[in-house]
């Protein structure tokens, strides 16, 4: 008898979370979006209809199904309906440019695309270049316009069977999703998640966040980012309430925090700098004890202080797209509560220790030796475990490079404190992290190099109060050429996502090494010195 036929084995898949919760809490409110409210029984029925509708379209095991959609119920439903039939979910960042969206759809080989009507004009521009996509379904939410030639999502569900199909997952190591990240090369890489990894990481997040069936989770983290840090599945696992939000604007977030009595919310430091500022200006506070899970970039201690002074409790986590989102957490010790607020904030700003579902975490030197626990010796963070990606989709060479020595190399530089807690001190290579979004400087440079007046360019990060850091382009023009900052910014905005466009542009000669390479470290030091003056 094989394990799969035995009484002591069950394939791990996050799809099972919905089946269990719908059985246990069929009449409990599960999904809220504006005036729309679904019970878990209704949520389950919509997911089943989505799964059956995909089967009618000819979507089967291993096929990729893409969604270009903000944090509305259809995107949440796809996290269960797509993998239910063994297909693979591809969630696309709604902030990408048309060419970037085209690349993701082409590289993933998506056979079907579900698109919110706000983004349909962009899709129609690139559709002639996408031969693999056989079906487009539109999601009509807030944008009105002429009738679409494509089927509507709600009609698609209504016309599908409500009879629950078998979950078509035979191997828990099969792909559940492919999440695209810019990484360090500028070209998007498809990060492969497995059913097993998603299942275990979701359960770990439930435990770390202290969620249960009375919890209420507000969707600020984009579901297209690491599948919402796997909280799409985690919230469902415990039968908590999902509160969907189309646009993560401070006023809307603050309003829902109070109206829906939110107990759990996550996001980047940038988002909560804006939210807490809005709350202060409008004399608002969190529901006492609200779990505010911060990730994406190290939060400044001042933000931690601000959140907790307004009644929230900060949970600081660190991870990457390659680790299903959260991998470490700054696990709190009760005896730290007696420390002064400023000291507590500094402790909580550390990246911490592995989450419950994480196991392998080290900070190593170039020979893969562990650095001492002295809080000062820098090393690279490496990871291994069930919640490390299976690899980069259709890119064995990049996968092998990332997994050198049997560990996933993050490229992040950190120290280890005497208590074993890890703290990031720098980012390797040249990634700019702006508002939690990774921006490849090489990608931006490649765009600027397309301008006929540009001789050389280097893009670096420069500090920014709102976004943490933003890109700055330092350009050496060809002899006799003239160019303005506004012209370069406009040139970039036509070719890449707007959040990747340089905020500042400087024209001057660039420093080089003896071999002719641009000395970015020199530029970074000069930029920091100029900012410090």
Closest Cα partner for 420 from 456, 469, 370?
Answer: 370
- Indicate the fold that domain 10-193 takes in CATH: Rossmann fold (3.40.50)
Beta carbons within 8 Å of 380's beta carbon, 6+ residues apart: 363, 364, 365, 409, 410, 411, 412, 413, 414, 428
Q: What is the torsional sign of CA 255, 258, 262, 264?
A: positive
Asked, colleague to colleague, whether 10-193 and 248-429 share their fold, the answer is yes
3-state secondary structure 408-467: EEEEEEEEECCCCCEEEEEECCCCEEECCEEECHHHHHHHHCCCCCEEEEEEEEEEECCC
Residue 229 · residue 221 · CB < 8 Å: yes
CA nearest 67: which of 108, 30, 38? Answer: 108
Whole-number Å distance between alpha carbons of 202 and 131: 35
- Both tokens of residue 329? 């957490």
Cα–Cα dist 418/524, whole Å: 30
Q: What is the pLDDT along the chain (533 residues), one digit of tens a residue?
A: 455 668 988 999 999 999 999 999 999 999 999 999 999 999 999 999 999 999 999 999 999 999 999 999 999 999 999 999 999 999 999 988 899 999 999 999 999 999 999 999 999 999 999 988 999 999 998 765 566 789 999 999 999 999 999 999 999 999 999 999 864 345 789 999 999 999 999 999 999 999 999 999 999 999 999 999 999 999 999 999 999 999 999 999 999 999 999 999 999 887 898 899 899 989 999 999 999 999 876 677 778 888 999 999 999 999 999 999 999 999 999 999 999 887 888 899 899 999 999 989 999 999 999 999 999 898 999 999 999 999 999 999 999 999 999 999 998 888 999 999 999 876 666 678 888 787 877 778 878 988 989 888 899 999 888 888 899 999 999 888 899 999 999 999 999 999 999 999 999 998 875 445 678 888 988 887 777 76
Two tokens, residue 307: 């959140």
| DSSP-derived secondary structure for 191-253 | EEEEHHHHHHHHHHHHHHHT--TT-EEE--S-TTSHHHHTHHHHHHHTTPEEE--SS--HHHH
Burial of residue 39, with CB atoms counted within 10 A of its CB: 0-12 exposed, 13-18 middle, 19 or more buried: middle
Report which DSSP code applies to 157.
H
CATH 3.60.15.10 fits 248-429, yes or no: no
Strands 353-354, 325-329: pairing kind: antiparallel
Six-digit token pair at 393?
Answer: 């989709």
- Residue range 432-532, CATH number: 3.30.300.30
Each domain of the chain, given as residue ranges in start order, spans 10-193, 248-429, 432-532
Alpha-helix residue ranges (DSSP H) falling in 71-194: 73-84, 98-108, 120-126, 153-158
Distance CA 224, CA 75 (A): 8
């Amino acid at each position: 008898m094989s394990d799969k036929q035995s009484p002591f084995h069950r394939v791990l898949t996050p799809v099972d979370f919905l089946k269990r919760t719908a059985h246990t809490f069929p009449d409990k409110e599960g999904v809220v979006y504006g005036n729309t409210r679904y019970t878990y029984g209704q949520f389950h029925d919509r997911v089943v209809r989505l799964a059956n509708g995909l089967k009618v379209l000819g979507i089967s095991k291993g096929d990729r199904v893409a969604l270009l959609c903000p944090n509305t119920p259809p995107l949440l439903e796809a996290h269960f309906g797509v993998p239910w039939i063994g297909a693979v979910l591809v969630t696309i960042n709604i902030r990408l440019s048309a060419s970037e969206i085209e690349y993701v759809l082409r590289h993933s080989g998506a056979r079907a695309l579900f698109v919110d009507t706000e983004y349909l004009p962009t899709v129609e521009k690139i559709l002639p270049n996408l031969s693999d996509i056989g079906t487009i379904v539109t999601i009509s939410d807030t944008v009105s316009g002429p009738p679409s030639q494509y089927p509507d999502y709600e009609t698609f569900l209504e016309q599908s069977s409500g009879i629950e199909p078998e979950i078509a997952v035979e191997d828990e190591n099969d792909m559940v999703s492919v999440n695209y990240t810019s990484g360090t090369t500028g070209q998007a890489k498809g990060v492969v998640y497995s059913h097993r990894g998603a299942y275990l990481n979701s359960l770990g997040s439930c435990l770390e966040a202290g969620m249960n069936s009375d919890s209420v989770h507000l969707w600020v983290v984009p579901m297209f980012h690491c599948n919402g840090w796997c909280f799409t599945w985690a919230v469902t696992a415990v039968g908590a309430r999902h509160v969907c939000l189309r646009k993560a604007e401070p006023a809307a977030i603050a309003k829902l925090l109070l109206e829906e009595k939110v107990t759990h919310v996550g996001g980047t430091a940038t988002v909560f700098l804006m939210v807490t500022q809005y709350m202060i200006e409008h004399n608002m506070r969190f529901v006492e004890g609200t779990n505010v899970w911060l990730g994406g970039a190290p939060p400044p201690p001042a933000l931690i202080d601000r959140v907790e002074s307004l009644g929230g409790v900060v949970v600081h986590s660190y991870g990457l797209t390659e680790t299903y989102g959260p991998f470490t957490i700054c696990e709190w010790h009760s005896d730290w509560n007696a420390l002064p607020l400023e000291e507590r904030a500094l402790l909580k700003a550390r990246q911490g220790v592995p989450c419950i579902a994480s196991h392998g975490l080290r900070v190593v030197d170039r020979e893969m030796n562990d650095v001492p626990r002295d809080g000062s010796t820098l090393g690279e963070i490496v990871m291994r475990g069930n919640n490390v990606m299976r690899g980069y989709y259709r890119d064995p060479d990049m996968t092998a490079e990332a997994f050198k020595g049997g560990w996933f190399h993050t490229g992040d530089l950190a120290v280890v404190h005497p208590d074993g807690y890890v703290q990031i001190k720098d980012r390797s290579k040249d990634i700019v992290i702006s508002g939690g979004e990774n921006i490849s400087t090489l990608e931006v440079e490649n765009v600027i190099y397309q301008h006929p007046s540009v001789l050389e360019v280097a893009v670096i990060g420069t500090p920014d109060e709102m976004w943490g850091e933003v890109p700055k382009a330092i350009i050496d023009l060809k002899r006799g050429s003239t160019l303005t900052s506004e012209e370069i910014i406009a040139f970039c905005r036509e070719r890449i996502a707007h959040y990747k466009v340089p905020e500042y542009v400087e024209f001057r000669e660039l420093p080089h090494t003896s071999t002719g390479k641009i000395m970015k470290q020199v530029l970074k030091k000069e930029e920091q010195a100029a900012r410090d003056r």
